[in-house]
């Protein structure tokens, strides 16, 4: 039986080596908060915080991987952290130049 210290070390290594590279491609991060008696607490940061897809990423990706490598983890809880990243899609063709003010781009009739 492993100590909580050994379990935490493995969880942190998994987050840094396997999870961080994947979620950072989308501007996010998933950070370790705590582990106790099978319960793992994580924080969703950056673009992961408030993202509708973060539940899917967490449940179908991160949770399966962590439980596979660290069978002592029985429950994973994730909290949204503070983020300055807008988790909503923005149209790259909807250009607004603040120096120009509001521009009426409707076609002339």
| CATH code, domain with 46 | 3.30.300.130
Instruction: Answer for the pair 1, 11: CB distance below 8 angstroms, yes or no.
Output: no
What's the pTM?
0.68
Give domain status of residue 49, yes or no. Answer: yes
6-20, 66-80, 87-101: least confident range: 87-101
Give domain status of residue 57, yes or no. Answer: yes
Give domain status of residue 32, yes or no. Answer: yes
Give SS3 for 81.
Answer: coil
| Mean pLDDT value across the chain | 77
CA distances from 59 to 31, 66, 76, 92 (A): 15, 10, 9, 30
Quick one: pLDDT at residue 96? 47
Instruction: Answer for the pair 27, 85: CB distance below 8 angstroms, yes or no.
Output: yes
Number of separate domains in the chain: 1
Give domain status of residue 64, yes or no. Answer: yes
Phi-psi region of 95 (alpha: psi -120 to 50; beta: other; left: phi over 0): beta
Give domain status of residue 94, yes or no. Answer: no
Quick one: pLDDT at residue 95? 47
Give domain status of residue 105, yes or no. Answer: no
Per-residue pLDDT tens digits for 50-79: 666 666 677 778 888 999 999 999 999 887
* pLDDT value at 10 more than 70: yes
Range of the domain at 66: 4-80
> What value does the mean pLDDT take over residues 85-96?
49
Residue 35's pLDDT band, with cuts at 50, 70 and 90, is very high
Q: CB within 8 A of 27, min separation 6: which ones?
A: 46, 47, 85
Give domain status of residue 85, yes or no. Answer: no
> If you write DSSP's letter for every residue of 83-99 in order, what string do you get?
--S--S---TT----TT
Give domain status of residue 92, yes or no. Answer: no
* pLDDT value at 83 more than 80: no
């Amino acid at each position: 039986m492993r100590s909580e210290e050994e379990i935490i070390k493995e969880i942190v290594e998994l987050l840094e080596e396997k999870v961080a590279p994947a979620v950072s491609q989308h501007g996010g991060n998933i950070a370790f908060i705590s582990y106790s008696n099978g319960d793992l607490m994580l924080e969703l940061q950056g673009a992961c915080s408030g993202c509708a897809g973060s539940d899917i990423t967490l449940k179908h990706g991160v949770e399966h991987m962590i439980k596979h490598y660290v069978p002592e983890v029985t429950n994973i809880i994730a909290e949204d952290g503070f983020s300055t990243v807008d988790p909503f899609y923005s149209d790259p063709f909807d250009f607004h130049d603040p120096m120009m003010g509001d521009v009426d781009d409707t076609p002339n009739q």
